[in-house]
Structures are given as structure tokens and as C-alpha cells.
Amino acid sequence: MPCTVFMRLGRVSGLDVLVPDMGEDHATLVESVRAGALLKCEITQPRRPKRHKLYWATLRNVVASTALGDTFPTTTHLHKSLLLTLGYHSTVHNLVTGEVFLVPDSTSWARMDETTFSEYLDRAFATLADATGIDPLTLTRGTADATNGGMEA
């Protein structure tokens, strides 16, 4: 039966091993898995909330402070455009007309782990810098938005 536990890479007796992060994670493993059982693991890194908030705050400040605000009236519009521009999308074909649509992928925490989000974030900020001629983070650094909110769905 599937279970979710948080693990850290640690060193025990000179070996690199995965160690339960907290007591509850250890208890979950002991209760869910028999000793010696072979496990199939999918390794992901949990998202970092501050980077998520920084992303949305930066988009908001780009829309409010640059000419991109004329093209993208909200951060959600800019967000979807970045996803499509950077190739984070799926292709949908209309069965009747044959028309092709691009549908932006989700950056939700359940759909994009920290490693993928970090790669996306770096590419998105570089794309914004190219489009605006300025480092988009300069619009956000030192503001309350950098760590307190700025998030949109």
C-alpha cells in the first residue's frame, strides 16, 4: 500500500542512505513496510514556498512596471504565456475541425516538483529579462512582495 514519507540523504557507517526526516516518517515506514521488502521509490523534492511566492510577486511587478503590462493585463496571462513560450504545454487536437491548441501545463505543487519548477523559474526570469531589458528580480528585491504573498492561482 502506498505511503508518503520525507527522507534525507544521510551517511551511516560510511554509506550514503536515505534516512526518515522525522519520527513520524520513521513510524510510517515501520507500520507500512515489512523489513527487507523491496520498495519502488519516486524521488521528488518538495516545493519551496518562498520561491513560489517570489515568482508570482515578480510577475505582478513586471505587469505593473513594464510595457509587458500592455500586452498581459494580469499575472495569470503572463504566466500562461511564459509556459507556452518555454514549451511547458500539451498539444490538443480538435477531432471535428482538426484545429490544434496548445494548453499550458500546470505549475501546481502536485504537478511540478522543486527541481522542475526551479528550471522553469530560471528560464522564465531569463525570458522576462530578454523581453523587458531588465532583470525582473530588480523589481521585486527588497519589497514585501519578495516573501509575503504575491501568489495567484
Range 49-146 classified under CATH 1.10.1660.10: no
Lowest mean pLDDT among 18-27, 50-59, 61-70: 18-27
The answer to whether residue 125 scores a pLDDT higher than 50 is yes
Query: Which residue bears the cell 528550471?
Result: 119
Averaged pLDDT, 122-147: 85
In the chain, ranges of CATH 1.10.3790.10 domains: 49-146
Q: What is the 3-state secondary structure (H, E, C) of the chain?
A: CCCCCCEEEEEECCEEEEEECCHHHHHHHHHHCCCCCCCCCCCCCCCCHHHHHHHHHHHHHHHHHCCHHHHCCCHHHHHHHHHHHCCCEEEEECCCCCCEEEEECCCCCCCCCHHHHHHHHHHHHHHHHHHHCCCHHHHCCCCHHHCCCCCCC
Identify the pLDDT of residue 142: 64
The answer to whether residue 33 scores a pLDDT higher than 80 is yes
